[in-house]
Amino acid sequence: MITVHHLEHSRSQRVLWLLEELGLPYEIKHYARDPKTMLAPPELAQVHPLGKSPVITEGDTTVAESGAIVEYLVDAHGGGRLKPAPGTAEHRRYVYWLHFAEGSAMPPLLMKLVFDKVRSAKVPFFIKPIVKGVADQVTKGFIAPNLKRQFVFMEAELAQRPWFAGDQFSAADIQMSFPLEAGQARGGLDAQYPRLTNWLQRIHARPAYQRALERGGPYKILD
């Protein structure tokens, strides 16, 4: 039996969605975030040394990292589903977007989250203008341009095909869901990107996505 060690409001929601798309039986072990720090509880470190989510276990096998979990489940249990045929252009795009999601899309979104918190942090009044100024400069000079460049790139890709890998929905779309949901929640992804907005609407309407929400419990992008 596959067990998903599911941290609330986290990337592990994608894993539940993938399992629902594949129609695989699984069980969930729920973990709540620390209400003050919003970090994962120490119990997760008993599953994997880094103490982060997502993590799955199946028998003696433990797999961490979203992309690695997606590849493991699709390769071990997919039976050819949700993955384009090897050697095709679709498969090359599939691999690209699997890695792009965390390797390129998430870092500036994470930086935006961090610097937004820096900007609103409680500091002595005489330091606050300096802190805010630094945060504003980093956001304006680095974070915002990088996010815009990525959204423009992704919008252009979806102008050529309905899904990230090609004409068919794949696990690459599942992997891409979290950064695009984060982009929408944290600003930057708006009406000027109609194809990305439409893509989000389409994935949210999928029955498997809805079933995963029902099983996983409350899910929102933290800000």
Q: List pLDDT tens digits, range 54-96.
A: 999 999 999 999 999 999 999 999 999 999 999 999 999 999 9
26 and 78 both lie in a single domain: yes
Range among 134-143, 181-190, 193-202 with highest mean pLDDT value: 193-202
- For residue 128, tell me if it sits in a domain: yes
DSSP codes of every residue in 116-152? HHHHH----TTTHHHHHHHHHHHIIIIIHHHHHHHHH
Range of the domain at 201: 89-206
Contacts of 221 (CB under 8 A, 6+ apart): 9, 181, 182, 184, 185, 186
- Provide the 8-state DSSP code for 222: -
Query: For 147-173, what is the mean pLDDT?
Result: 97
109 and 185 both lie in a single domain: yes
94 and 200 both lie in a single domain: yes
Banded model confidence at residue 20, pLDDT cuts 50, 70, 90: very high
122 and 157 both lie in a single domain: yes
182 and 77 both lie in a single domain: no
pLDDT, position 123: 62
99 and 53 both lie in a single domain: no
pLDDT mean across residues, the chain: 92
- For residue 49, tell me if it sits in a domain: yes
